[in-house]
Each structure stands twice: as structure tokens, then as C-alpha cells.
Amino acid sequence: MKTFRENLSGYIFMLLALSSISALALITVFIIVQGAPLIADVGVIDFIFGMTWAPSQGEYGIFPMIIGSLSVTLGAVILGVPVGICCAIFLAEFAPVKLRNLFRPAIQLLAGIPSVVYGFWGLIFIVPFIRDYLGGPGLSILAASVILAIMILPTVISISEVSILALPRQYKEGALALGMTHWQTIFYVILPAAKSGIVAAIILGIGRAIGETMAVIMVVGNATAIPTSILDPVRTLTTNIGIEMGYASGEHRQALFATGIVLFIIIMVLNSLAQYITRKK
């Protein structure tokens, strides 16, 4: 009886674990089954590098969206990552206890606030600001980059901070004992040692930026053209799905799933990369 219960509990846990991960398989299968036929119809090259997205005429090229996703993500990384890493160093090395106890929950709150709230703030504050002071329609790559930069901060900060704090104390003490200043210790010892964790943090931040939908829809303008400046509106892969999914049907809906496949592949590659880097240690 006792051994039976022992074995049973083990099997139940295994069953729960297997059903959890089967979700990933289900997602993969259903997205691919929905989207793959259209990619096959249009052709992989024409789908990915096609310049025109006109579902009503049966033209499905997502190259402008790929450029859109890349540009807003790049912008977010340029704006967000340095600030995020500085914050992580601040939290791990400089922050007085009181400020740290305020900062950590603040970062948590930052992570918890609905993305639509950021999008809304961008729409009523950042977009008019850009329109009035920098020109263009305001709805732009720059606006999306700013919002995304804020949104990836929690990811970048918390993962970088954890990887800095995970270093053995001897690294720091050894460096300080050699007569290095605090900053030299951080720059020459701590940051290089925590490099893999910080890189993983950046990659996961990139993943978040590429995957964000609602906040971006609200500030990016959603024009399906190749941008010429950071003040131009663009459409990203996610916003393409988010905007049109509400009314799409038939082939058009399949094309949105196909967009989802591309997004899914990009994210899986980024994830695997991040996991590989963190595990390599």
C-alpha cells in the first residue's frame, strides 16, 4: 500500500510535468498547421522578403514588418540596456540599503504594470512630445523604442543583478585587496565575470521587446512601409497580428498565423541562445 502510494505520487508528478511541457508542442503544432500552408503557397522567400502586405489583393509580404520589429527592438536595446545594466550595478554594488529596498519593489511594479498602460502613456505623452519637438507624425519607431526600453528594464535589471550577486565574494575581495578601486573592481573583475548572465539578460530583453504587442500598437503608427528615419511610423510582426486578427478570416487569417510562425521562430532562437549562454558556465 505504501509503495503503491509512493509510486503513484511519482507518476502523478511526472504526468503533470509532461502535460505542462506538452503545451509547447501543442502551441507549435497548431500555429504551424494554421500558418504553414500559406507560406508554402506564397513561397518562403516571397513571404519573408515580400515588400507588399495587401491581404485584400492576396499579397502577403512581411519584410516591412520584419524591418519594423528589428528597428524598434534595436532602438529599445540602445536606449534600455545601458541604463538597465547601470541600475543592476547600482543595486548590487552602490545602493544604500534604504534605496535598494525602495528600488527592488519599484522594479517589480514596473514589470507588473500592464503593457497597455505603458502604451497609453506613450500615446498621450511621448507621441505628442516627438511630434512637437522632433517632427514627423509622432507615432514612430522612436516612440515605440522609448516605451519598449522602459518595458525591458525589469528583465535586464533583475537578471543582470542576479548574475552579479551570484559571483563569489572572493572575486571582489581579492580585487580590492590588490589595491584596485571599487570602480576598477567592477569594471575589470565583476562585469567580465558576470558577462554571461548579463548577455542572457540582454537577449531575454530583446525577446520581450520583439514579442510586445499592445503597447507597440498604440505608439508605432502601424504603416506597412519601409521606414526611412526613426521618426517614421512602422508596423511590427506582433502589431500586424494584433491589429488584423480581430477581423481576418480565411487566407488572411492564415497569413497572420504565418506571421506568428516567423515571430515564434525568432523567439525560440533567442531563447535557446540565452539558455545556451547561461548554461555554458
Partner 1 sequence: MNSRDHERIAKALIWTAALFVLAVLAFILIYILARGLPRLDWEFLTEIPRNMGRSGGVSSTIVGTLMVTSLAVAIAVPFGIGTAFYLAEYTRGGYITRIIRFCAESLAGIPSIVYGLFGFIFFVIFLGLGWSVISGALTLSVMILPTLIRTSEEAIRAVPNIYREVSYSLSATKWQTIIKVVFPSALPGIANGIILSVGRCIAETAAVILTAGSALRMPSSVFSPTRTMAVHFYILAMEGISMENAFGTAALLIILIFLINVVANTFVNRFVAKGVKR
> Which pairs count as long-range contacts for 132-140, CB under 8 Å and 24+ apart, including other chains?
134/231, 135/231, 136/229, 136/231, 136/232, 137/221, 137/231, 137/233, 139/219, 139/220, 139/221, 139/222, 139/233, 140/219, 140/220, 140/221, 140/230, 140/231, 140/232, 140/233, 140/234
116 touching partner 1, by CB under 8 A: yes
Residue with cell 525577446: 207
115 touching partner 1, by CB under 8 A: yes
Total residues in contact with partner 1, by rule CB under 8 A: 86
Contact window for partner 1 (CB under 8 A) among 12-20, 132-140, 158-166, 226-234: 12-20
281 touching partner 1, by CB under 8 A: no
Binds partner 1 by CB under 8 A, chosen from 82, 135, 174, 192: 82
Task: Select 20 or 228, whichever has its Cβ closest to partner 1.
Answer: 20
Applying the rule CB under 8 A, the residues between 83 and 112 that interact with partner 1 are 83, 86-87, 89-91, 94-95, 99, 102-103, 105-106, 108-110, 112
267 touching partner 1, by CB under 8 A: yes
Task: Select 42 or 241, whichever has its Cβ closest to partner 1.
Answer: 241
12 touching partner 1, by CB under 8 A: yes
183 touching partner 1, by CB under 8 A: yes
Least Å distance, CB 215 to partner 1, is: 9
Least Å distance, CB 127 to partner 1, is: 12
Contact window for partner 1 (CB under 8 A) among 133-141, 176-184, 191-199, 226-234: 176-184
Angle at the Cα of 182 from the Cα atoms of 178 and 187, rounded to 5 degrees = 95
**Residue 170: strand, helix, or coil:** helix
Residues 6+ apart with CB under 8 A from 201: 84, 88, 155, 156, 158, 159, 160, 163
Of 204, 199, 206, 203, nearest in space to 72 by CA: 206
